[in-house]
């Protein structure tokens, strides 16, 4: 059964008032992702990878096309309106430092999804958070620090821990390790692989690094000028 | 060391800011305990002791109606501080709300609010305040209204800019992906990150507002005698500028000290809250 299906997704950006210039960032992207598998998307910068990632999360409104999650059309559903389904797809951004609010302690950052969706009561919150950071091997001592006091690898684990709070079915990872050192890269990739094995989470792994994509993915699509041009 | 203690220590290391805080502290205490500190009733006239030079009995001298200038200056701090704080409170609140709406509410709302801000900024704000104060008539409340109506655009501009840059940040996108509502994002992410510049602007704005209020009173459109107010005291001293300088000197010096002190505090807060200086000292 496919967890995520994307049909003919297009995104055209227009700019300018008098002379309209258009950029086609996504040009008919179609794929389907099986539960518990990883789709690697390989592409150079400017090929539309990040636009695809943001469109899948509906952070960008696609111009046309459909996004189906477990058979349901979620293309135009805003995030906070519909029960659990939209939250079942989550995103890891490239730069862990800018994906956490600099004024929020790590504890509050991880507690955020729990509080937004009232997943647990205040008393259970701490246990829940300790459980979440245990899954990504994060030291509990770091919980009361601010993001700028943590390293890139630690922050990326914080990001993973907070999205695990929503028990996602699918995670879009947009160059999750390109800002990290090689040794830390391996740790993060291993955490992702472990999560896939233990929880059956599907991944869309976006990168420009062929070796990393090959190691992570069951299937690889090469993206160029907004199209998936080649399947490996 | 907790966060607040750390920031406080950092702030106190800045000498000018500390001096400013001490000056404002003293003036605030004077304002609160004015009836205990002032030796005379600020409105009480004593024509037999008019235009006396500073002495032990009248530390700052007496004015042309024989009122004790020290008592008037002490009571005047109440008016100046309360106008400054009220106006800044009102303008910071509404200016920030409009700025958030403008930055986050989409193109149409943004255009309407920003064009209105442009219109406001096209007038020199003191002239606009003069017109409004002139129309409303004198009085403390009217001064507050006139200044509030003219001072808010600075906040709207600042907050709009912060909101526009902030809403493109990845942590806001991440929060949206987590299912956060717009009000949650505005409150927890955007406002939290915009709060430092707002606090700095507000502190410096208190200084400017106090000057404007004094200017309105000086021109006779603000607080009227016999209510003691620094601006109107300056005006009352003009005829005696050569013969009895102390009538204008003391309220003028107090006005200057207050404004300088608020500016020092504003600078100090800005330096303290700057995340980069903070990071550096933490590493040390």
Each residue's pLDDT tens digit, B60-81: 888 888 888 888 989 989 988 9
- Searching chain A, which residue's CA lies closest to the CA of residue B169? A98
Backbone φ and ψ of A103, nearest 5°: -100, 5
With beta carbons less than 8 A apart as the criterion, state whether A43 and A224 touch.
yes
pTM of the model: 0.83
- Searching chain B, which residue's CA lies closest to the CA of residue A171? B177
Does residue B261 surpass a pLDDT of 90?
A: yes
- Summarised one tens digit per residue, pLDDT across range A44-77 is 888 888 888 888 888 888 888 888 888 778 787 7
ipTM: 0.86
pLDDT of residue B284: 38
Chain A contact present for B137, CB below 8 A:
no
Please tell me the distance from the alpha carbon of residue A199 to that of residue A219, in angstroms, as a whole number: 19
The tally of domains found in chain B comes to 1
Chain B contact present for A162, CB below 8 A:
yes
Q: Do A79 and B173 touch (CB under 8 A)?
A: no
- What 3-state DSSP class applies to B278? helix
Q: Do A80 and B175 touch (CB under 8 A)?
A: no
Does residue B278 surpass a pLDDT of 60?
A: no
Chain B residues touching A148 at Cβ < 8 A: 275, 279
Domain positions in chain A? 2-231
- We report the CATH number of the domain holding residue B260 as 1.10.3720.10
- pLDDT band for B282, please (50, 70, 90 cuts): very low
pLDDT of residue B280: 47
The CATH number of the structural domain formed by A2-231 is 3.40.50.300
Q: Minimal Cα–Cα distance from B14 to chain A, Å?
A: 23
pLDDT of residue A25: 87
Cβ-count burial B102-112 (b if 16+ within 10 Å, e if not):
bbbbeeeebee
Chain A residues touching B170 at Cβ < 8 A: 93, 95, 98-99
Does residue A82 surpass a pLDDT of 60?
A: no
Q: Minimal Cα–Cα distance from B182 to chain A, Å?
A: 9
The sign of the torsion formed by the CA atoms of B40, B43, B49, B55 equals positive
State which residues form the domain around B207: 3-283
Please tell me the distance from the alpha carbon of residue A177 to that of residue A95, in angstroms, as a whole number: 8
Of residues B72 and B2, the one with the higher pLDDT is B72
Does residue A170 surpass a pLDDT of 80?
A: yes
pLDDT of residue B90: 96
Mean pLDDT (chain A, rounded): 86
- pLDDT band for A86, please (50, 70, 90 cuts): low
pLDDT of residue B281: 47
Please tell me the distance from the alpha carbon of residue A165 to that of residue A119, in angstroms, as a whole number: 9
- pLDDT band for B255, please (50, 70, 90 cuts): very high
Measure CB to CB from residue B170 to each of A87, A93, A116 and give the nearest one. Answer: A93
Please tell me the distance from the alpha carbon of residue B1 to that of residue A229, in angstroms, as a whole number: 56
- Searching chain A, which residue's CA lies closest to the CA of residue B193? A103
pLDDT of residue B2: 66
Q: Which B residues, 175 through 204, put their C-beta within 8 Å of a C-beta on chain A?
A: 175-181, 184, 188-189, 192-193
Chain B residues touching A80 at Cβ < 8 A: 179-181
Q: Minimal Cα–Cα distance from A120 to chain B, Å?
A: 16
- Percentage of residues of chain A with pLDDT beyond 70: 96
Q: Give all strands of the β-sheet with A64-69 in edge-to-edge order.
A: A21-34, A2-15, A64-69, A72-73
């Amino acid at each position: 059964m496919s967890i995520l299906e994307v049909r003919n997704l297009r995104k055209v950006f227009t700019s300018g008032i008098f002379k309209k210039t258009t950029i086609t960032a996504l040009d008919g992207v179609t794929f389907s992702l099986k539960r518990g598998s990883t789709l690697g998307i390989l592409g150079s910068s400017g090929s539309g990878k990040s636009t695809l990632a943001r469109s899948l999360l509906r952070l960008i409104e696609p111009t046309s096309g459909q996004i189906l999650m477990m058979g349901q059309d979620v293309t135009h559903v805003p995030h906070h309106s519909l029960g659990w389904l939209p939250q079942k797809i989550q995103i890891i951004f490239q730069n862990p430092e800018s994906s956490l609010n600099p004024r929020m302690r790590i504890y509050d950052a991880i507690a955020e999804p729990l509080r937004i969706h009232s997943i647990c009561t205040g008393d259970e919150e701490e246990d829940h958070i300790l459980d979440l950071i245990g899954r990504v091997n994060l030291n509990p001592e770091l919980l009361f620090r601010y993001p700028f006091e943590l390293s890139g690898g630690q922050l990326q684990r914080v990001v993973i821990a907070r999205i695990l709070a929503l028990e996602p079915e699918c995670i879009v990872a947009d160059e999750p390790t390109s800002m990290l050192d090689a040794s830390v890269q391996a740790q993060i990739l291993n955490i992702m692989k472990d999560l896939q094995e233990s929880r059956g989470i599907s991944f869309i792994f976006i990168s420009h690094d062929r070796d990393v994509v090959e190691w992570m993915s069951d299937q690889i699509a090469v993206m160029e000028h907004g199209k998936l041009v080649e399947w490996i | 060391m907790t966060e607040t203690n750390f920031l406080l220590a950092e702030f106190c290391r800045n000498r000018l800011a500390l001096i400013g805080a001490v000056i404002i502290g003293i003036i605030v205490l004077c304002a609160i305990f004015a009836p205990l500190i002032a030796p005379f009733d600020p409105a009480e006239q004593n024509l037999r002791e008019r235009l006396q030079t500073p002495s032990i009995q009248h530390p700052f001298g007496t004015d042309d109606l024989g009122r004790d200038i020290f008592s008037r200056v002490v009571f005047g701090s109440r008016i100046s501080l309360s106008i400054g704080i009220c106006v800044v409170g009102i303008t910071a609140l509404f200016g920030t709300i409009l700025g958030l709406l403008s930055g986050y509410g989409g193109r149409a709302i943004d255009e309407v609010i920003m064009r209105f801000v442009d219109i406001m900024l096209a007038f020199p704000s003191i002239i606009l305040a003069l017109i409004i104060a002139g129309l409303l008539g004198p009085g403390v409340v009217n001064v507050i209204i006139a200044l509030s109506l003219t001072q808010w655009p600075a906040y709207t501009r600042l907050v709009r800019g912060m909101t526009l840059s902030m809403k493109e940040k990845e942590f806001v996108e991440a929060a949206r992906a987590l299912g956060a509502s717009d009000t949650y994002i505005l409150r927890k992410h955007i406002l939290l990150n915009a709060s430092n510049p707002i606090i700095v602007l507000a502190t410096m704005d208190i200084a400017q507002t106090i000057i404007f209020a004094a200017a309105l009173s000086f021109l006779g459109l603000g607080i009227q005698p016999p209510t003691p107010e620094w601006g109107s005291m300056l005006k009352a001293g003009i005829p005696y500028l050569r013969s009895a300088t102390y009538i204008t000197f003391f309220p003028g010096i107090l006005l200057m000290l207050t404004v300088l002190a608020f500016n020092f505090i504003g600078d100090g807060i800005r330096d303290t809250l700057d995340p980069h200086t903070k990071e550096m000292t933490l590493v040390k």
